[in-house]
Structure 1
Amino acid sequence: MWKQRQGNNCNNPTMAPYTITYFPVRGRCAAMKIMLSDLGQEWKENLVNFEEWMKGDLKGTCVFGQLPKFQDGDLVLFQSNAILRHLARKHGAYGKDDKEAALIDMMNDGVEDLRLKYARLIYQEYETGKSQYLKDLPDHLSKFEAVLAKNKSGFLVGDKISFADYSLFDVLYNHTVLCSTCLDSFPALKSFVEKMSARPKIKALLECEAYKKLPINGNGKQ
């Protein structure tokens, strides 16, 4: 039987409608925690260490053999982007109409492409490929810079924050840890990160000691 460890001193989970089960890292749950915090939502958290996970009991109950696991009442979801979309639909972060929703999906897919490149570096090529990755990074960032520079609202799509904005912020925040100067040539992206970081409930999460103690990635590299 796998053991649950309750965690998250950054919100008040007493009456939380949601439960997140994940490893004690930020990883794939960072964007959803940032989003939940900004939207004023509470959650309970079950932290699973590597030894517990390797026993296989919990893994066997996961549809794709992966975490995070997200529970909303009797609805159980896996796949982080599916979870973000579910929360966006419930809490008004999916655009004002179908057109905006389609554009938000497109932008989030673009963020996912960058996230996967980042993950490949962190978990497979950190020692040998970091220099080349940073050399190629401006080409990837320029796509998002162009979108944000064009949209005067400061968000990726329309005039209201969406789940794609939370996802982009998470990825960009991780990149500023990887290289503190990586956004210096991208004023729209730099402004976006600064404004997102300053949103009161996101700022509170980022400054929460329990959250800060969580490593960004599972292997300790960042």
Structure 2
Amino acid sequence: MAGKPKLHYFNGRGRMEAIRWLLAAAGVEFEEQFITCPEDWDKLRNDGRLMFGQVPMVEIDGMELVQTRAILNYIASKHNLYGKDLKERALIDMYIEGMADLNEMIIMFPMHPPGEKDAKLALIKEKTTNRYFPAFEKVLKSHGQDYLVGNRLSRADIHLVELIYHVEELDPSLTPTSLC
């Protein structure tokens, strides 16, 4: 049996957080190797372990995987969280890409200059309440199931819960009770 996956990233959520959530939902224990100083970062890059010179990187099943989506796809496929067929997988991908659009706005929010924050927050609120959460509510209502795809837990459901938490941290009033 292979050892625990080892996650290489900074000591923060960022792009590694979705990977952590997915592994946890799959019941997989993992180790984390935090990049805490410039020397840690230089060693990882200079050892040639980062194909594109960036993290996250996950050591799993004898591989050193980089690129967040590739890592997530591998874990989801391995642990049966990526649909039963191509149609379900396409739906999962479609929902996740929509979530990624909103999540990217949320991740980038703290980086905006103070003078732009009110406008950016207003845009996030508008997109959350008028575009993204209504779309996922519609999907769930359309088939009357508890999960977005195939009436079983998938990567899309895990990412939606994570997104709801991110939105709630930004503004608790945006939390959709119908999705919780």
- Identify if the C-alpha distance between structure 1 residues 57 and 39 changes in structure 2 by more than 3 Å, giving closer, same or farther: same
Shift in Å at residue 45 of structure 1? Answer: 0.9
Calculate the TM-score normalised by the size of structure 1: 0.70
Q: Provide the secondary structure at the position in 2 that maps to 1:20.
A: strand
CA–CA separation in structure 1 for the residues paired with 2:153 and 2:167: 21
Moved more, 140-149 or 153-162: 140-149
1:57 corresponds to 2:43: yes
Q: Distance in 2 between matches of 1:144 and 1:50?
A: 40
Alignment partner of 1:45: what SS?
A: strand
Distance 1:34 1:47 in 2: 17
Aligned residue for 1:77, secondary structure, equals strand
After TM superposition, give the deviation of residue 16 of structure 1 in Å. 4.1
Indicate the residue corresponding to 2:178 in structure 1.
188
Secondary structure at the aligned position of 2:58 is classed as strand
More deviation in 172-181 or 56-65? 56-65
Match of 2:105 in 1: 117
- 1:138 maps to 129
Unaligned runs of 5+ in 2: none
CA distance in 2, matches of 1:127, 1:43: 41
Matched, 1:38 2:29: no
- The alignment's C-alpha RMSD in Å is 2.1
2:70 counterpart residue number: 82
Question: What residue in structure 2 maps to residue 12 of structure 1?
Answer: none
Distance 2:146 2:114 in 1: 32
Q: Cα deviations across residues 132-152 of structure 1 (Å, max 9, x unaligned)? A: 432443123222221122232
Distance 1:126 1:111 in 2: 25
Corresponding letter in the other structure for 1:164: A
Q: How far, CA to CA, are the matches of 2:37 and 2:111 in structure 1? A: 16
For 1:21 and 1:103, locate their aligned partners in 2 and report how far apart those are by CA, in whole Å: 30
Match for residue 92 of structure 1?
80
Listed as ranges, the gaps of 5+ residues in structure 1 are 1-14, 192-222
Q: How much has 1:50 moved relative to structure 2?
A: 5.0
Number of equivalences: 173
